[in-house]
Structure 1
């Protein structure tokens, strides 16, 4: 077991609760958990430790929203996500922690700006009959999402902006995100083991934090049923901006 202070354990426990909530209620909040883990643990260990907790929370998200996924959207994303994950593996092998954080922060802020501008201009990605924008958006967001989720478990904000731009209702948003990240996170495990991100001490930390993830997931399920569409979208955007600014500075 890593020798952590009481404060570090509190920070990790709070982050674990946020992981659960982010999977079943407010996806953008996941970036806050990324930041807290990076503050409490060494950078590489934090990435691998958090990944396994994310997978635990993915199980609860799928059980809750498994019938609400938009599979057409998920299938369009697959090729781009594979490319993004591959680029992320290469980037992790050559970049240091500072560059990783700054690059992801810039990407997230650009994605937020583009998404909000598109919505304001009424050029929604999901406009009926416009298949071109669908393909372009899937390629762009899918590549960025695969890259950011591989290098820092920070793909949530990128994909949240895509699903938000698709104008999914709350449950369809959460169901599509649940299946997306369950599949992608499982696919990341072999790469994370190979890069030394998943370690024995990290597994022990995960065992201690799993109950906090479960509590957050159950609390998030209760919260999601009481959020209206407008509040949900504002929360997603707000947490995405907070996470992006933290990673950048």
Structure 2
């Protein structure tokens, strides 16, 4: 990370802007950011650089939507998420950069496939149910464990949790508020694991200090645009970018 070119810094700044935007508008956009970070930086180290930026975005999202969280859903998910995070940490103990790059690429493609499947099978119709009505221990456990693993390995828990919250009947503000608190709690808890793995250090934090400046305007832009976004078009663009990013990582 000591030899980052100026154009690479510009690309990372754009991805950091998208981190903030995704936290206050469309969470699925995060998959594009992690693909960019993993492409510009060594894949393994990119997860440690991205995590503090995600936390900055989480703080802004919590401040914006703090009153709209559904805490019963959060308490239902967190135990299984903890199991998934620990499993991801164990994986990261032995995984080298190539293994992490392939894992991130595969996770991105899997998340894109799940999103497409959800839309084609009409899973979004579940949103008509009351918030939390579709919840259950098995469902929360499976989504929580997968979300914890993917967020530890690739910071890619967003699509998993988005699918869970949408299928549980959350409308926009409840979705954003619950998601904001969820990822703030989980991402903060991931910090000691990332430090122990050597993914967060003085060099990565120095890079984060500059990139964090771009997360803030991204979050403000997301808040201003959240009611004006053509959701269908944006999701299609995010899916397309995610697939391209996943393939790029797998074929490097």
Alignment partners' CA distance in 2, 1:37 and 1:64: 26
TM-score, L = length of structure 1: 0.87
In structure 1, the partner of 2:144 is 142
Q: How much has 1:61 moved relative to structure 2?
A: 0.2
Counterpart mapping for 1:172-187 below 5 A:
172-187=174-189
TM-fit CA distance, 1:135: 2.7
Cα deviation for residue 74 of structure 1 reads 1.0
> Pairwise CA RMSD of aligned residues?
2.5
Question: Aligned partners of 1:170, 1:142: CA distance in 2, in Å?
Answer: 20
> Residue 115 of structure 2 is aligned with which of 73, 89, 112?
112
Partners of 1:24 and 1:224 within 8 A in 2: yes
Structure-1 separation of matches of 2:218 and 2:124 = 36
Summarize the Cα distance change of 1:24–1:120 in structure 2 as closer, same or farther, 3 Å threshold. closer
How many residues align structurally? 245
The match for 1:75 is 75
1:88 and 2:66 matched? no
Cα deviation for residue 4 of structure 1 reads 1.3
Choose the corresponding residue for 2:163, options 161, 164, 179: 161
**Alignment counterpart, residue 222 of structure 1, candidates 201, 221, 224:** 224
Whether the 8 Å contact between 1:27 and 1:236 is mirrored in structure 2 is no
- State the TM-score, normalizing by the size of structure 2: 0.87
Deviation at 1:167, TM superposition (A): 3.0
- Which residue, 189, 192, 201 being the options, matches 1:190? 192
- CA separation in 2, counterparts of 1:115 and 1:136? 19
Contact 2:38/2:101, CA 8 A, preserved across alignment: no
Match in the other structure for 2:65: 65
CA distance in 2, matches of 1:207, 1:70: 32
CA contact (8 A) 1:160 1:236 kept: no
Asked whether the equivalents of residues 27 and 160 of structure 1 are also in contact (C-alpha less than 8 Å), the reply is yes
- Contact 1:108–1:244 (Cα < 8 Å) also in 2: no
- After superposition, give the CA deviation of every residue in 1:22-43 in whole Å (9 maximum; x if it has no partner): 1000100001010111122122
1:173/1:6 Cα in 2 relative to 1: closer, same or farther (>3 Å)?
Answer: same
Q: Name the CA distance, whole Å, in 1 between partners of 2:160 and 2:214.
A: 25
1:34, 1:213 → 2: CA distance? 14
